[in-house]
Chain A
Amino acid sequence: MMQKQTKIHKESAHSHMVKLVSTASLHETVGDVLLRLQDPKSQYECVDYTYVLRADGVLDGVVSIKQLLNSKSGVKISKLMTRKLMVVHQHSDQEHVANVALNGNIKCVPVVDKHHHLLGVVPSDIILSILKWEHTEDMLRLSGIHGGGTTYRDISHVSSFKMGLLRIPSILVGLVGGMLATSVVNYYEVSLEKNLILAFFIPLIVYMNDAVGTQTETILVRLLGTEKVSIWKYFLRELGTGFFMGLVVGFLAFSITLVWHNEAILAATIGLSLLIGVTSATVTAIAVPYTLFLLKKDPAISGGPFTTVLQDIFSLMIYFTVASLILH
């Protein structure tokens, strides 16, 4: 299980767990445990599972409330319990906690220290909320809105001013990148003067490559968030998909441009630039989030300004290079 490690301090399993949990020792019976559960003095915060501890406090197994109720009161807990336990450590990221609950199909996730002593559990309502926060975070980060901690928990109640502050940084990064793109076009001023028609296609080229890149990036962020992935396998598949889509898009644009402007060389320039551009977009859209992932940052951060504007610059360079090779 790959695990995001951006928020270890604030949003760990430890900060979400409740401590008053039903526990039992190995020699006890179902009746003993149910008696204790029914004692009004034992104010358990979570009764969904009873955790079975060895004499030295090490977590050994788990019994659900359903199992307890469905068993005869004389049955020994050690006979009933499930020993294959899904646990998280106190410093585990909250997203990891939610993934463990999802993959293990369990309602509550037990939290243990490094000696496997039970510290508490993250209850089901919190897990549900964590999942919601993490999803909001994914979506907003992908669109270049960078808050931390509790910002994402209640997006409709963030003030205008604060929301503005969260959105502006990525726009400013985009602005700097956009100026670089301006200077790329500026650099090819002479080609543009000779063939003004090249300028007409700038929006098409930039748009198409971004659209494909955004798809690639979204799929990757989702993969990194939920499952073990072989990045090379994904990379090769994405490269194949990018190339195939590039062929389709390039050929379509080539045909339409040819019919429209009646210039084979221009049509070839557009078609070839799109083929190379769309393929390269998949590479950029994997390289940037994956680099962030390796640096233990949230890969979703790459969405919004950075990857897109970087791809814009590449797209323009590819376009004008192809144009100068073919048209001159």
Chain B
Amino acid sequence: MKKNIPEKHGKSHAETALSHMVKRVSTASLHETVGDILKRLQNGKATFDTVDYTFVLHHDQRIAGVVSIKELLHANDSVRVADIMHTKVRTVHPSTDQERVAFIALRENIKAVPVVDKDHKFLGVVPSDTILNILEWEHTEDLLRFSGVRGRGEKLRNFVKSGVFSMSKARLPSILIGVLGGLFATSVVEFFEKSLEEELVLAFFIPVMLYICAAVGTQTGTILVRTLATEEVKIHKYVIRELLIGSIIAALVGGLMFCVVFFWFKSHLVALTIGISLLIGVMTATLIGVFVPLTLFKFKKDPAVSGGPFINILQDILTLVIYFSVASVILL
């Protein structure tokens, strides 16, 4: 696999492949037959944590291949396991993040993911029911992080059930950053006081301007965050597609608003200001929606953090600067 998914920072050791691994797994050596393995599986003395897969090992404990219980049952007893096993086996290391383990299971369509040490020696597997649970936990975490709720691990997963004060405590930090950002946005508008005094109509469009740019930015960011987490993509191709979609939406929204404002306020200059500001604003939002998660990803941070309030208020400030700059050029 060429692309490396960064491991999330701030995870405790409880969130790695090692902590979810079971050790009592069926293994076999290369010369054994299906009958040998099935006999061992049925021997009441050896209790296994999972019987879904049997891992075929070399003498030095490296994985030679894998065979599922279904394949074992369907094969003749005398068949050598080496002849029916799959030799391409996707493995993880003990320190691999749990989310990565789950997504490997998804991509490779396997039920249990084998764990090996740095010498490729077989240690155990992360079983299928655990993988299902990991996927669900990680989803809860991603959604909450994306909406600016802080926390990690178990605490964040159970967050939805917590009380008023612990809930406020987890949610307030991002909101308070928002207050500071919002006050900064206030000073941006204040900076353009002269423009506002001359054209009060500019104030009417502040909410819609902020809203549309933020909405497009959120869409772009969400798609990218989800794609980075679950798919193997060629980043370049993907970025070009997003920029293309952003341009289409920018042109459409800008054109539409130009028409609406023109018929409503009967001023082609005001209409032009709104239309052009939206065009530039939406394009900017697309760029930010693409490049902020990508940068976080490159620096091995969780891209889902980018969905938080920080990026939104940054977008708001940029939108205001674009809006009033365009207005100064066109109207004044």
A joins B in a complex: yes
The reply to whether A185 and B133 form a contact with Cβ atoms under 8 Å apart is no
User: In whole angstroms, how far apart are the Cα atoms of A241 and B168 in the complex?
Assistant: 6
Question: A302 contacts the other chain (Cβ, under 8 Å)?
Answer: no
A206, CB-defined interface residue at 8 Å: yes
Which of B139, B146, B223, B252 touches A168 (beta carbons < 8 Å)? Answer: B252
Q: Residues of A at under 8 Å CB distance from B? A: 34, 37-38, 40, 43-44, 46-48, 65-66, 69-73, 98, 101-102, 105-107, 124-125, 127-129, 131-132, 135-136, 138-140, 142-145, 154-156, 160, 163-164, 167-168, 170-172, 174-175, 177-179, 181-186, 189, 192-193, 196-197, 199-208, 210-212, 214-215, 217-219, 221-223, 226, 237, 240-241, 244-245, 248-249, 252-253, 256-257, 260, 304-305, 308-309, 312, 316
Decide: A128 and B106 in contact? CB cutoff 8 A. yes
Report how far A155 CA is from B73 CA in the complex, Å.
37
Residues of B within 8 A of A142 (CB): 143, 222
CB within 8 Å of A: which B166-207 residues: 167-168, 171-172, 174-176, 178-179, 181-183, 185-190, 193, 196-197, 200, 203-207
Give bound CA distance, A218 to B148, whole Å.
10
B contact residues, total (Cβ < 8 Å): 103
User: Which of A69, A203, A256 sits near B185, CB closer than 8 Å?
Assistant: A203
Q: Is B75 an interface residue (CB 8 A)?
A: yes
Select B316's contact among A48, A144, A203, A260, beta carbons within 8 Å.
Answer: A203
The reply to whether A222 and B144 form a contact with Cβ atoms under 8 Å apart is: yes
* Chain B residues whose C-beta falls within 8 Å of the C-beta of A107 in the assembled complex: 111, 128-129
| A46 vs B128: C-alpha distance when bound (angstroms) | 14
Q: Is the CB of A245 within 8 A of B172?
A: yes
Chain B residues 100 to 157 lying within 8 A of chain A, measured CB to CB, are 105-106, 109-111, 128-129, 131-133, 135-136, 139-140, 142-144, 146-149
State whether the Cβ of B70 lies closer than 8 Å to any Cβ in chain A. Answer: yes
Contact present for B249 and A171 (CB under 8 Å):
yes
A–B pairs, 6, beta carbons within 8 Å: A46-B70, A47-B69, A140-B226, A182-B208, A200-B187, A245-B171
- Is the Cβ of B179 less than 8 Å from the Cβ of A252? yes
Q: Give A34's nearest chain B residue, CB to CB.
A: B42
Shortest distance between the CB of B186 and any CB in chain A (Å): 5
C-alpha spacing A102/B77, complex, angstroms: 35
List, in ascending order, chain A residues with CB within 8 A of B218's CB: 143-144, 304
Q: In the bound complex, what is the Cα–Cα distance between A215 and B69 (angstroms)?
A: 45
Q: How far is the CB of B73 from chain A (nearest CB, A)?
A: 5
A139-B142, A171-B253 given; A186·B168 CB < 8 A? no
Pick from B69, B221, B312: contact of A211, CB under 8 Å: B312
Residue of A nearest to B110 (CB): A125
Q: Please, which residues of chain A bring their CB within 8 A of the CB of B178?
A: 207-208, 211
Contacts of A197 in B (CB 8 A): 190
A131 B164 Cβ-Cβ under 8 A: no
Given the known inter-chain contacts A37-B73, A69-B41, A143-B222, please indicate yes or no for A193 contacting B144, CB distance below 8 A: no
Q: How far is the CB of B214 from chain A (nearest CB, A)?
A: 8
Assess the A185–B203 pair: CB atoms within 8 A: yes
Q: Is B38 an interface residue (CB 8 A)?
A: yes
CB of B136 within 8 A of CB of A167, answer no
A163 to B164 Cα, complex, angstroms? 39
Taken together as a complex, chains A and B put the C-alpha atoms of A101 and B208 apart, in Å, by: 44
A201: B residues at CB distance < 8 A: 186, 189
Most chain A C-beta atoms within 10 Å of own C-beta, residue among B185, B207, B210: B207
Contact A138 B139, beta carbon cutoff 8 Å: yes
> Complex formed: what's the CA distance from A138 to B241 in Å?
22
Q: Which among B75, B163, B186 is the interface contact of A204 at CB below 8 angstroms?
A: B186
With A135-B135, A178-B212 known as contacts, the answer to whether A185 contacts B206 (CB < 8 A) is: yes
Are A171 and B207 CB-contacts (below 8 A) given A145-B222, A208-B175? no
CB nearest neighbor in A for B130:
A105
Known A144-B218, A185-B204; contact A211-B309, beta-carbon cutoff 8 A: yes
- Option from B128, B164, B189, B257 in Cβ contact (under 8 Å) with A202: B189
Cβ of A218 and Cβ of B179 under 8 Å apart?
no
Q: A131-B135, A237-B163 are in contact. Are A316 and B207 (CB under 8 A)?
A: yes
